[in-house]
């Protein structure tokens, strides 16, 4: 059973002997990103698991994925009809709001599921090694599926109003990427914080509820700027979702909708900063996840 004793002479004691892997205290792993790439299949399979499991043993099954955004759409149609509200952007109210609701819902879903993801997979965390970033990232991927369904419904809504988008719609994939940046950045922060401080379980619903009213979802950012003036508007743009939502409106509504004013660059910078900050904070804390979870 043992290897042949004559096969090789005993090796020289050489401290510089090359090992494939070093495990050391406080040693941020050099191969983190390589490992992340190596575990890409795990990322895909975890996202698939969460989607596959979600509607099992539900009679209506996948229909639930459609029902929620559809219900939202009807509520919006109803509000638009009752209040006679018409947005300034030269498009029906329902489309103005729905185009903003898309990225917002994605952000909110991503944040909620990501924050629970590590705690929900605690037994994996404490038994197996893999780059922990995969878990919140895969829950963002799941939120992206819901997002895709909602995009379909927006398409239906636009067809109903016979509202034809222009060339700007081609920017949608790029803007979706921006939404992912914001959701992943915020998600990583919240996830790492939730592992340490379960208080964030109660803070997140709060952030999401108030965030929707603070972000230009039910109104447009142009309306905000008109009311508060340029200086305060810059402060308002500290909300990273402002640039994402404005971008979506700009692409979907065309016409008068504006995007990438100097102030929205603040919001853009915050979103990108959130991603890098989120990754840095997550990596700093993930090493101790197994100890504190």
Partner 1 sequence: MPAASTAISVSGLSKRYLLGQHAAVQGFRHLVEDTLKAPVRWLRGGQGKPRAAGAEFWALRDVSFEIAQGEVVGIVGRNGAGKSTLLKILSRITEPTQGRIGIRGRIASLLEVGTGFHPELTGRENIFLNGAILGMTRAEVRSRLDEIIAFAGVEKFLDTPVKRYSSGMYVRLAFAVAAHLEPEILVVDEVLAVGDAEFQKKCLGKMREVTAGGRTVLFVSHNLPAVAALCDRAIYLKNGHLEAMGQTAPILQRYKDDAALAVEATATPAHRRGSGTHRIATLTPLATEQPARAPLGFCAQIRQHAEDGPFHLSLHLRDEWDSEITALNTEYLERGALAPGDQEVRITLNTPWLPPGDYRVEAFLHSGGIIDHWPDACLFRVGSDVATLGYTHSSAHNAGLVLADFRLETTPLQK
Q: Which residues bind partner 1 (CB under 8 A)?
A: 1-5, 7-8, 10-11, 17-27, 39, 41-42, 45-46, 49, 52-53, 56-57, 121, 123-130, 193, 196-197, 199-200, 287-288, 290-292
Closest approach, Cβ 249 to partner 1, in A, equals: 35
Is there a contact between 181 and 272 (Cβ–Cβ < 8 Å)? yes
Closest approach, Cβ 51 to partner 1, in A, equals: 11
Closest approach, Cβ 280 to partner 1, in A, equals: 16
> 């401290």: which residue's tokens?
15
Closest approach, Cβ 150 to partner 1, in A, equals: 25
Rounded Cα gap, residues 95 and 225, in angstroms = 21
Question: What is Dmax (Cα atoms) for the chain?
Answer: 90
Helix (H, G, I), strand (E, B) or coil at 277: helix
Does the CA dihedral 35-38-43-45 come out positive or negative? Answer: negative
Tokens in use for 164? 């034809």
- Closest to partner 1 by CB, 42 vs 66, is 42
Closest approach, Cβ 48 to partner 1, in A, equals: 8
SS (H, E, C) 83-109: HCCCCCCCCCHHHHHHHHHHHHHHHHH
- Closest to partner 1 by CB, 53 vs 231, is 53
Closest approach, Cβ 272 to partner 1, in A, equals: 23
- Closest to partner 1 by CB, 49 vs 227, is 49
- Closest to partner 1 by CB, 130 vs 259, is 130
Rounded Cα gap, residues 271 and 239, in angstroms = 8
- Closest to partner 1 by CB, 53 vs 177, is 53
- Closest to partner 1 by CB, 38 vs 227, is 38
Rounded Cα gap, residues 63 and 233, in angstroms = 40
User: How far apart, in Å, do the first and last CA atoms of the chain sit?
Assistant: 41
- Closest to partner 1 by CB, 41 vs 83, is 41
Closest approach, Cβ 185 to partner 1, in A, equals: 19
Is there a contact between 151 and 102 (Cβ–Cβ < 8 Å)? yes
Residues 6+ apart with CB under 8 A from 165: 158, 251, 252, 253, 254
């Amino acid at each position: 059973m043992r290897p042949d004793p004559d096969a090789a002479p005993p090796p020289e004691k050489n401290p510089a002997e090359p090992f494939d892997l070093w495990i050391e205290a406080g040693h941020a792993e050099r191969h983190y990103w390589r490992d992340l790439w190596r575990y890409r299949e795990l990322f895909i399979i975890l996202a698939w698991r969460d989607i596959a499991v979600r509607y099992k043993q539900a009679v209506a099954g996948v229909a639930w994925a459609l029902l929620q955004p559809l219900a939202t759409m009807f509520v919006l149609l109803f509000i638009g009809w009752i209040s006679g509200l018409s947005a300034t952007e030269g498009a029906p109210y329902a489309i103005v709001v729905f185009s903003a609701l898309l990225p917002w819902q994605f952000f909110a879903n991503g944040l909620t599921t990501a924050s629970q993801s590590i705690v929900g997979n605690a037994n994996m965390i404490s038994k197996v090694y893999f780059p922990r970033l995969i878990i919140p990232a895969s829950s963002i991927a799941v939120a992206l599926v819901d997002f895709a369904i909602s995009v379909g419904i927006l398409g239906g809504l636009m067809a109903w109003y016979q509202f034809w988008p222009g060339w700007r719609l081609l920017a949608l994939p790029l803007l979706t990427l921006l939404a992912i940046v914001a959701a992943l950045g915020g998600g990583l922060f919240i996830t790492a914080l939730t592992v340490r401080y379960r208080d964030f379980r109660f803070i997140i619903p709060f952030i999401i509820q108030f965030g929707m009213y603070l972000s230009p979802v039910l109104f447009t950012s142009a309306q905000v700027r008109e009311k508060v003036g340029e200086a305060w508007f810059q402060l308002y743009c500290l909300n990273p979702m402002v640039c994402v939502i404005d971008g979506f409106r700009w692409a979907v509504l065309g016409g008068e909708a504006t995007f990438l004013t100097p102030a929205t660059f603040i919001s853009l910078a915050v979103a990108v900063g959130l991603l890098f900050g989120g990754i840095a904070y997550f990596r700093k804390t993930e090493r101790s996840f197994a100890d504190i979870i």
